């Protein structure tokens, strides 16, 4: 068994014989004394070597992996107030030198280089902080929904038809048939919600969008809910609570990481978030001279402008033109051009969107045709609503987008461990 204690624990257990292990951050040589700064997942400690016979025969370099047995002592000189005095130093593995990326916080390598060497970049405190926060986003999302009666479901990732519009699908050969990578768990969450009532999932999805932007990837993780006996307003209220829960958890448990990322002033938006209708938003933009007409989608800069005009970090944009939203969005009875759909804008970008769904088979067929899709391709899904499907609604949060805003990143690639974009398939 590999017996060792983490550095943060070793720092507290003064005077005990212990073994620690980790990576060499740097070494320093004085005439009769040597220092190794050692890092593991819990922290850093200075190892002070007064008996030079203990030094490994080969010089130690950055990121060499070592195991050290010795004891922690109080120190007036070391920054942390303690240092580790070794009895034995074993080199477990050497690292090639020089390192291809700088993993200290002093100088940052180019993003492309860091992504090429992602496993090393994970040792950079800023990158680590992004993914520790992302982990918290996921666990607090799951925790909130589980505690509030939602069941986690597992959608398939290989599907036979589009759900969000045909243009963005990756197709794959599937024995004698053609299949696609899921672009959303949409159809499956509806089919589970009309029986389980409250469901959620965290799942990868793929979009074959050709453009390269700071807010788009071709593979993302979506955090979705779907709820029966619900309309758009019901699930907007769930979204507000989920977002506030996630932010509160991060504020309480990730203060160190927020500090490293200079986001310690993370605000928790007040519930209820403001609801701005699509029509009001168009008027706001037109009033300041933006070129936009009713029916257009907002550009990313216009989403940012709207945030300034609305004056809130988080708000909803609701009641969209049907042409802008997917075929399954429920139209208003008295105004079928407008659908019960919403986006949540947070930190100036769309982090989530949702709708009340159409639960009436005939209306669904009609809307599919209106969107230029063939109802025949969706028969299996449409049939699900012919056997007592309650009104239902749901939404999806893009994991990488919400991570961007919370961690203050301007490029979404920073927020995917192994991003997939138009150019990048490795690592």
Residue ranges in contact with ligand AMO by CB under 6 A: 164, 184, 186, 207, 209, 216-217, 220, 222, 224, 350-355, 394-396, 398, 400-401, 412
Question: Strand locations in 208-313, DSSP E?
Answer: 219-228, 274-277
CB of 195 to ligand AMO, least distance (A): 18
Token reading at 3? 């017996």
Cα–Cα nearest to 47, from 104, 18, 1: 18
CB of 81 to ligand AMO, least distance (A): 44
CB of 316 to ligand AMO, least distance (A): 12
Residue with smaller CB distance to ligand AMO, 134 or 222: 222
For residues 105 and 349, give the distance between their C-alpha atoms in angstroms, rounded to a whole number. Answer: 28
Token reading at 73? 């002592």
- CA 285 from chain centre, in angstroms, equals 30
CB of 231 to ligand AMO, least distance (A): 13
Residue with smaller CB distance to ligand AMO, 72 or 396: 396
The runs of H, that is alpha helices, within 311-378 are 361-370
Token reading at 227? 């709820």
In angstroms, what CA-CA distances link 21 with 52, 82, 138, 174, 256? Answer: 19, 17, 29, 47, 22
CB of 426 to ligand AMO, least distance (A): 19
Contact yes or no for 137/248 (Cβ under 8 A):
no
CB of 287 to ligand AMO, least distance (A): 26
Residue with smaller CB distance to ligand AMO, 318 or 401: 401
Half-sphere exposure of 32 (CA within 13 A, CB side): 0
Residue with smaller CB distance to ligand AMO, 124 or 227: 227
Residue with smaller CB distance to ligand AMO, 44 or 209: 209
Residue with smaller CB distance to ligand AMO, 225 or 250: 225
Rounded-to-10 torsion of CA 225, 343, 352, 233: -30
């Amino acid at each position: 068994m590999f017996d060792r204690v983490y550095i943060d624990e070793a720092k507290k257990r003064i005077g005990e014989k212990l073994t620690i292990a980790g990576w060499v951050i740097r070494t320093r040589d004085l005439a009769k004394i040597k220092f190794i700064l050692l890092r593991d997942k819990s922290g850093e400690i200075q190892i002070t070597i007064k008996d030079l016979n203990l030094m490994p025969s080969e010089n130690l370099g950055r990121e060499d992996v070592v195991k050290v047995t010795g004891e922690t002592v109080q120190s007036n000189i070391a920054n942390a107030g303690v240092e580790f005095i070794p009895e034995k130093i074993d080199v477990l593995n050497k690292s090639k030198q020089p390192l291809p990326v700088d993993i200290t916080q002093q100088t940052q390598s180019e993003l492309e280089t860091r992504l090429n060497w992602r496993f090393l970049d994970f040792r950079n405190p800023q990158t680590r902080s992004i993914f520790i926060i992302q982990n918290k986003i996921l666990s607090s999302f799951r925790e909130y929904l589980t505690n509030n009666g939602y069941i986690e479901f597992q959608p398939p990732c290989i599907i036979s038809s589009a759900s969000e519009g045909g243009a963005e699908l990756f197709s794959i050969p599937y024995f004698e048939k053609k299949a696609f990578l899921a672009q959303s768990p949409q159809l499956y969450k509806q089919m589970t919600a009309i029986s389980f009532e409250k469901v959620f999932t965290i799942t990868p999805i793929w979009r074959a969008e050709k453009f390269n932007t700071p807010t788009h990837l071709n593979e993302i993780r979506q955090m979705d809910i779907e709820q029966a006996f619900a309309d758009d307003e019901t699930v907007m209220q769930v979204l507000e609570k989920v977002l506030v829960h996630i932010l509160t958890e991060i504020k309480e448990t990730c203060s160190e990481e927020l500090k490293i990322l200079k986001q310690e002033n993370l605000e928790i938006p007040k519930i209820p978030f403001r609801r701005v209708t699509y029509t009001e938003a168009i008027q706001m933009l037109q009033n300041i001279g933006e070129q936009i007409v009713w029916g257009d989608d907002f550009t990313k800069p216009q989403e940012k402008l709207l945030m300034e005009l609305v004056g809130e970090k988080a708000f909803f944009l609701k009641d969209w033109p049907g042409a802008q939203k997917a075929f399954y969005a429920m139209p208003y009875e008295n105004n079928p051009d407008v659908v019960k759909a919403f986006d949540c804008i947070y930190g100036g970008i769309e982090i989530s969107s949702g709708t009340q769904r159409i639960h009436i088979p005939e209306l669904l067929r009609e809307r599919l045709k209106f969107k230029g899709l063939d109802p025949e391709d969706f028969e299996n899904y449409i049939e699900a609503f012919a056997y007592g499907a309650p009104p239902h609604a749901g939404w999806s949060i893009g994991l990488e987008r919400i991570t961007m805003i919370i961690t203050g990143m301007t490029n979404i690639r920073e927020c995917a461990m192994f991003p997939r974009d138009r150019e990048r398939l490795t690592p």
